[in-house]
């Protein structure tokens, strides 16, 4: 317990609490349970994507294509629904997850089999996936009235006071807790990122594990693609543009080390919630939305400086500027 109190997660939790108190002092309604539930729902897509990104970063990779993957999957789902409203929702959900996973697998294969650096691969596929949306849709939007009520209604369907979207985020988080703590694959993510050379000796296939991380990240991006499009009832080329950086930011704020092998699911969850609260609070507390960007930028810098500081004491070599990022 005392170890937890000193952890990054506890400090982040504290920061969130302070943030909420500050907001509540100006606008008490913000902390009403119903509103917090709404903020959570609004943050759900970020949480789902950030969890996927977490396993990718744990294995020393990065996936910049998540937002493009989301948008392409979302567009395909929307176009399918518009063209064939009769296709059952379960099939669409399956399609979304499968399509996302395939796009993730494409990233993963290039990292695994061709050893192309992940940042290059996903920078490339990010523009390709985004461009494909334009190609398949011809740039046209799919609007609310073209979608079936079942399609748009699913993510907002209310169960026990929370919409399905939020329940999915909770479910995914729970699955991640189990996967990370209790499955060999979950532990392999840490091993591969922490010491790839050593992982081979323990029978872990580094490339395959990274591939799996990309597939998971892709599948979740695909799932979120459907949820996003259905929730906002619109699909177009630019949806979630630039969202990949917000996703990475959530992970970094949550204490996931960009060098791989370190970080927790709880951290990512809190990192995403922190960003979500800031984003939702700004319009409410009457700070110009133009401040949002600068605030999240500052949060990222503070978080990474803080994480570096807390792990610094372990290092014995003092010439950190050379050692730190050799």
Q: First vs last Cα of the chain: how many Å apart? A: 35
Give the x-and-dash track for 279-298 against another protein (CB under 8 A): xx-xxx-x-xxxxxxxxxxx
Q: Which of residues 158-187 bind another protein (CB under 8 A)?
A: 178, 181-184, 187
Q: Which of residues 222-261 bind another protein (CB under 8 A)?
A: 228, 232-234, 236-242, 245, 248-249, 252, 258-259, 261
Q: How far is the CB of 225 from another protein (least distance, A)?
A: 13
Between residues 29 and 91, which has the closer beta carbon with respect to another protein? 29
Q: Does 213 bind another protein (CB under 8 A)?
A: no
Q: In this chain, which of 18, 22, 175, 301 binds another protein, going by CB under 8 A?
A: 301
Q: How far is the CB of 90 from another protein (least distance, A)?
A: 23
Helix (H, G, I), strand (E, B) or coil at 88: coil
Cα 326 from Cα 324, distance rounded (Å): 6
**Continuous segment of H or E residues that includes residue 159:** strand 158-159
Q: How far is the CB of 170 from another protein (least distance, A)?
A: 19
Cα 35 from Cα 37, distance rounded (Å): 5
Q: In this chain, which of 18, 143, 171, 175 binds another protein, going by CB under 8 A?
A: 143
Q: Does 4 bind another protein (CB under 8 A)?
A: no
Nearest alpha carbon to residue 14 among 27, 3, 5 = 5
Q: How far is the CB of 294 from another protein (least distance, A)?
A: 3
Phi-psi region of 241 (alpha: psi -120 to 50; beta: other; left: phi over 0): beta
Between residues 14 and 324, which has the closer beta carbon with respect to another protein? 324
- With beta carbons less than 8 A apart as the criterion, state whether 183 and 156 touch: no
Q: Does 325 bind another protein (CB under 8 A)?
A: yes
- With beta carbons less than 8 A apart as the criterion, state whether 66 and 48 touch: no
Q: Does 141 bind another protein (CB under 8 A)?
A: yes
Strand ranges in 268-324 using DSSP code E only, listed in sequence order: none
Give the x-and-dash track for 13-42 against another protein (CB under 8 A): --------------x-xx----x--x---x
Between residues 91 and 120, which has the closer beta carbon with respect to another protein? 120
- With beta carbons less than 8 A apart as the criterion, state whether 78 and 67 touch: no
Surface-to-core class of residue 313, CB atoms within 10 Å of its CB (0-12 exposed, 13-18 middle, 19+ buried): exposed
Cα 232 from Cα 156, distance rounded (Å): 10
Cα 190 from Cα 199, distance rounded (Å): 9
Q: Which of residues 100-129 bind another protein (CB under 8 A)?
A: 110, 113-117, 119-121, 123-128
> How many distinct helices (H) and strands (E) make up the chain?
15, 2
Q: Does 324 bind another protein (CB under 8 A)?
A: yes
Between residues 91 and 308, which has the closer beta carbon with respect to another protein? 308
Q: In this chain, which of 137, 209, 210, 224 binds another protein, going by CB under 8 A?
A: 137
Q: Look at the alpha carbons of 22, 23, 28, 31 in this order and tell me if their dihedral is positive or negative.
A: negative
User: By rule CB under 8 A, what count of residues binds another protein?
Assistant: 112
Between residues 91 and 158, which has the closer beta carbon with respect to another protein? 158
């Amino acid at each position: 317990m005392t170890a937890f109190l000193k952890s990054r997660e506890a400090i982040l939790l504290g920061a969130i609490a302070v943030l909420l108190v500050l907001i509540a002092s100006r606008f008490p309604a913000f902390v009403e349970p119903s509103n917090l539930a709404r903020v959570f729902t609004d943050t759900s897509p970020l949480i789902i994507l950030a969890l996927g990104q977490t396993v990718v970063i744990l294995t020393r990779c990065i996936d910049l294509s998540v937002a493009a993957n989301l948008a392409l999957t979302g567009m395909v789902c929307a176009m399918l629904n518009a063209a064939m409203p009769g296709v059952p929702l379960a099939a669409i959900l399956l399609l979304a997850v499968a399509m996302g996973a395939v796009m993730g697998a494409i990233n993963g294969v290039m990292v695994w089999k061709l050893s192309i650096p992940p940042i290059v691969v996903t920078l490339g596929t990010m523009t390709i996936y985004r461009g494909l949306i334009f190609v398949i849709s011809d740039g046209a939007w799919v609007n609310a009235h073209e979608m079936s009520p079942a399609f748009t209604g699913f993510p907002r369907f209310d169960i026990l006071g929370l919409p399905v979207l939020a329940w999915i985020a909770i479910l995914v988080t729970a699955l991640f807790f189990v996967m990370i703590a209790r499955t060999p694959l979950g532990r392999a993510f840490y091993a591969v990122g922490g010491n790839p050379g050593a992982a081979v000796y323990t029978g872990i296939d580094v490339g395959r594990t990274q591939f799996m991380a990309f597939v998971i990240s892709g599948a979740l991006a695909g799932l979120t693609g459907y949820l996003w499009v259905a929730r906002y009832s619109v699909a177009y080329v630019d949806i979630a543009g630039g969202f990949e950086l917000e996703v990475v930011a959530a992970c970094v704020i949550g204490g996931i080390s960009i060098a791989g092998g370190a970080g927790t699911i709880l951290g990512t969850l809190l990192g995403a919630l922190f960003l979500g609260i800031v984003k939702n609070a700004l319009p409410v507390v009457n700070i110009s939305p133009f401040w949002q960007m600068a605030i999240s930028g500052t949060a990222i810098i503070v978080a990474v400086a803080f994480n570096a500081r807390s792990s610094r004491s372990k290092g014995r070599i003092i010439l950190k500027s050379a050692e730190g990022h050799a």
